Structure 1
Amino acid sequence: MHVFICENTPNGILTGVYDAWELKIQERCSHADIYLVSGQPDNYELFCDYHTVAPSSENAGKVVSTLNRKLGHDFYETILTAILSIDLSGKKKMDKANAVYQTIVAALYSPKGARVLDSLSNPYIYRVFELSRATVSEAHHLKGFLRFSELQNGILFSTIHPKNNALPILAEHFTDRFPQENFMIYDETHQLAAVHRAGKNYMLVDASDINTELLQNYSENEARFQKLWLAFFDSIAIEARTNPELQAQNIPKRFWKDAVELRHFCE
C-alpha cells in the first residue's frame, strides 16, 4: 500500500492526486493500492510506503484542468467543496483526501463520467457528497447571514466563524455581487481573509497576525446606523412573545456573535 500524506488544502490534496496517479503509471500498481490522507496520520502501519506530498500549484492546476476538461466544472466544484470541508468525525470515517482521489478515479474510468456522483451506494462517492453538502450548505447560510460594517477608511469589513472553509465560496459570491467595493471578509476560525479591491479579483491571505482592534474603528455613518438598527430591533420586540428557540431556528446560535443585533446575547 502506498500512502500519500497531503497538506489539508486544495493545493495539497490535488497535488497528492497528481503524485498518486504518476506513481500508479510508473510502478503499474492498482489505484486500490493507493491511499491519500489529509494531514499527518495518527499511526504508521507496517508494509506501507509513505510519501510526503509537497504542494505544487502547477501540478494541482493540471488536475483542475483535467477535471474541468473531462468531467465538467460542476464535478470540479463538488470535489473542491468536499476538500474545503472540515472533517469533524475524526478518524471514524474515511479520510476526505482518499474519498476525493477514489471518486476522481471512478469518474475517469467509468463511461458515466461525471454522472458517477449519482452513485451514492459507492462509499467514496457518498463521502464526497456529504462533505461537499456540508460546505455548500454552510456557505449558503453565510451568504444570507454575513454582515458588512464600514470602517473609517471606507472598507467594508465582516468577521465570520464557519465550521468549514467556506471563505473561497463567499469571496467569489461577494466579488460578483460588489465588484466596485473594497471589502474584506475575515474567517477567524481558520485565520484566513479574503481581500477585494474595487474592480479587481479577490485574494486569500493569511490573517493569523491581523490586528482586530483596528477593524473595530467604524465610520461615523456605520456607528450611527448600528445604533439606529439596534433601536429598531429593540422597539419592535414584544417581550411577552420572546421566543429564543424560534430565533435559534431562524438564525443558528453560532452565527449570533457576528450579527449586530444578536451579539449581546452571546456575551
Structure 2
Amino acid sequence: MHVFICENTPNGILTGVYDAWELKIQERCSHADIYLVSGQPDNYELFCDYHTVAPSAEKAGKVVSTLNRKLGHDFYETILTAILSIDLSGKKKMDKANAVYQTIVAALHSPKGARVLDSLSNPYIYRVFELSRATASEAHHLKGFLRFSELQNGVLFSTIHPKNNVLPILAEHFTDRFPQENFMIYDETHQLAAVHRAGKNYMLVDASDINTELLQNYSENEARFQKLWLAFFDSIAIEARTNPELQAQNIPKRFWKDAVELRHFCE
C-alpha cells in the first residue's frame, strides 16, 4: 500500500492526485493500492510506503485542466467544494483526499464519465457528494447572509465565521457582483482573507496577524446607515408574534454575530 500525505488544501490534495497517478503508472500498481491522506495520519501502519506530497501549483493545475477538459467544469466544482470541506468526521470515515482520488479514478475509467457522480452506492462517490453538499450549502447561505460595511478608507469589509473553507467560493461570487469595488472578506475561523481591488481579480492572503481594531473604523455614512437599518428592523417587528425558533431556521444562530441587526443577541 502506498500512502500519500497531502497538505489539507486544494493545491495539496490535487498535487497528491497527480503524484499518486504518476506512481501508479511507473510501478504498474492498482489504484486500490493507493491511499491519500489530508494532513498527518494518526497512525503509521506496517508494510505501507509513505510519500510526503509537496504542494505544486503546476501539478495541481494539470489535474484541474484534465478534469475540466475530460469531465467538465461541474465535475471539477464538485471535487473542489469537497476538498474545501472541513471534514469534521474525517477520523470516523474515509479521508476526503482518498475519496476525491478514487472518485476521479472512477470517473476517468468509466464510460459514464462525470455522470458517475450519480452512483451514490459507491462509498467514495457518496463521501465526495456528502462533503461537497456541506460546503456548497454553507456558501449558498453566506452569499445571502454576508454583510459588507464601509470603512473610513472606502473599502467594503465583512467578517465571516464559516465551518468550511468557503472563502474562495464567496470571493469569486462577490468579484463577479462587485467588480469595481475594493472589498475584503475576513474568514476569522480559518484566519484567511480575500482581498479584491477594483477592476482586478481577488487574492487569498494569510490574515493571522490582521488588526481587527482598525477594521471597526466605519465611515460616517456606514454608521448612519447601520442606525437607520436597526431602526427599520425594530419598527417592523411585531412583539406579539416573536418566534425565535423560526428566526433561527431562517438565519441559523451561528451567522447572527456577523449580522448588524442580530449581533446584539449574541453579546
Root mean square deviation of aligned Cα: 0.7
Q: Tell me by how many angstroms 1:240 deviates.
A: 2.0
Could you list the structure 1 runs, at least 4 aligned residues long, displaced by more than 3 angstroms after superposition.
none
Residues 166 and 88 of structure 1: CA distance in aligned 2, closer, same or farther (over 3 Å):
same
Q: Tell me by how many angstroms 1:237 deviates.
A: 1.8
Q: Percent identity among equivalent residues?
A: 98
What is the match of residue 106 of structure 2? Answer: 106
State the Cα deviation string for residues 216-244 of structure 1 (Å, max 9, x = none). Answer: 00000000110111111122222222211
If the length of structure 1 is used for normalisation, what is the TM-score? Answer: 0.99
1:61, 1:226 → 2: CA distance?
43
1:91, 1:169 → 2: CA distance?
26
Asked if 1 retains the 8 angstrom alpha-carbon contact of 2:90 and 2:96, the reply is no
State the Cα deviation string for residues 40-77 of structure 1 (Å, max 9, x = none). Answer: 01011111111110000011111111111111111111
1:100, 1:34 → 2: CA distance?
12
Q: Tell me by how many angstroms 1:185 deviates.
A: 0.4
What is the match of residue 88 of structure 1? Answer: 88
What is the match of residue 132 of structure 1? Answer: 132
Asked if 1 retains the 8 angstrom alpha-carbon contact of 2:196 and 2:202, the reply is yes
Of 216-225 and 241-250, the range deviating more from structure 2 = 241-250
- Helix, strand or coil for the counterpart of 1:46? coil
Of 246-255 and 85-94, the range deviating more from structure 2 = 85-94
2:194, 2:18 → 1: CA distance?
27
1:119, 1:242 → 2: CA distance?
44
- Helix, strand or coil for the counterpart of 2:248? helix
1:156, 1:191 → 2: CA distance?
18
Q: How does 1:1-267 map to 2 (within 5 A)?
A: 1-267=1-267
What residue ranges of structure 1 are gaps of 5+ in the alignment? none
The size of the alignment, in residue pairs, is 267
Of 84-93 and 236-245, the range deviating more from structure 2 = 236-245
Of 105-114 and 229-238, the range deviating more from structure 2 = 229-238
Of 4-13 and 86-95, the range deviating more from structure 2 = 86-95
What residue ranges of structure 2 are gaps of 5+ in the alignment? none
Residues 39 and 74 of structure 1: CA distance in aligned 2, closer, same or farther (over 3 Å):
same
Q: Tell me by how many angstroms 1:149 deviates.
A: 0.2
Of 84-93 and 174-183, the range deviating more from structure 2 = 84-93
- Helix, strand or coil for the counterpart of 1:162? coil
1:125, 1:249 → 2: CA distance?
30
- Helix, strand or coil for the counterpart of 1:4? strand
Of 233-242 and 26-35, the range deviating more from structure 2 = 233-242
